[in-house]
Amino acid sequence: MKATLSQLTQALLSRLGRAPTRLRRQREAAVSIPFPQPWTELLKTRCEHYNRLPIALQDRFRQQVQIFLAEKRITGVQVDMDDETRLLVAASAVSLSVGWPDYTWDQLAEVLLYPDNFDRDYNFGGMDASGQAHHWGVVILSVPALKRSFDEVSDHHVGFHEFAHLLDLWRTRFDGIPTGLSDELIRRWLRIVQDEEDRLRRGDSVLHPYALSGPVEFFATTVEDFFQTPTALAARHLELYEFHSSYFCQDPAAWSRPAGR
């Protein structure tokens, strides 16, 4: 997998192009401001993935959070906005992208925060969805579900799931194939998907059954597994884990092991 790291990273970053001078300066200004200590403490308290990162990636994590919050529109819909909620939104996205230098989620147009889960008509209190990603770059998140995602160690994280969908977004459509893959890697990914779906149907899998909902949900669901339960994923689904590890340029299972082991 090591041979694909540079290829994947360059392919992903090529989508961004070179930021205009003014935008680069804005981003430099954003990261020049000291990261608020209360925010660091909140990340340490609420974000398990931040805590497992090597120090250098924690530094990049904080910088990407600053850029995300400076550039992205986060709108509360009947929700009282506060720094904690905005920080958890940013941490959801940056957990996925921290392995990619200079990645700035340019495909994201807006995050809408809802006060509860919602139904298919977007009525609050429904049980259909706790989050949704749209092909025009809008992500909807239920605030209670988002906070539970950071409070509970489980295989479901609505923030990771919905932002993972945006990494599957290419020219206004979702197809379940992560962006930036070569033809060879696409074939490998499709084979992994088939093998893992067969294992799920046989009951020989630690993946969440929601992965069987289709190729688009398979990618987002296994991204959740990669970040939420990396040790179990590496132990039982090594090829899938290694694929995600190369794609995201991260190794959360190794970072989760006690020092010296």
In a domain, 171, yes or no: yes
In a domain, 259, yes or no: no
Number of domains in the chain: 1
Judge whether 120 and 33 are in contact, CB under 8 Å: no
At residue 10, the pLDDT reads: 52
Q: Decide if pLDDT at 11 tops 90.
A: no
Instruction: Give the pairing of strands 110-114 and 131-133.
Output: unpaired
Tell me the three state secondary structure of residue 105.
coil
The winner for highest mean pLDDT among 61-75, 152-166, 169-183, 246-260 is 61-75
Q: What is the CB neighbour count within 10 angstroms for residue 204?
A: 10
Helix (H) or strand (E) holding 142: strand 138-142
Judge whether 144 and 79 are in contact, CB under 8 Å: no
In a domain, 151, yes or no: yes
Rounded CA-CA distance 110/125 in Å is: 22
At residue 21, the pLDDT reads: 77
Nearest residue to 189 (alpha-carbon basis) of 171, 155, 149, 216: 216
Average pLDDT, the chain: 89
At residue 158, the pLDDT reads: 97
At residue 110, the pLDDT reads: 97
In a domain, 150, yes or no: yes
177: domain CATH number? 3.40.390.10
Q: Decide if pLDDT at 205 tops 90.
A: yes
- What pLDDT, in 10s, does the model give residues 39-96? 999 999 999 999 999 999 999 999 999 999 999 999 999 999 899 999 999 999 999 9
State pTM to two decimals: 0.89
pLDDT above 90 covers a percentage of the chain that reads 72
In a domain, 15, yes or no: yes
Which domain covers residue 58, as residue numbers? 2-254
At residue 185, the pLDDT reads: 94
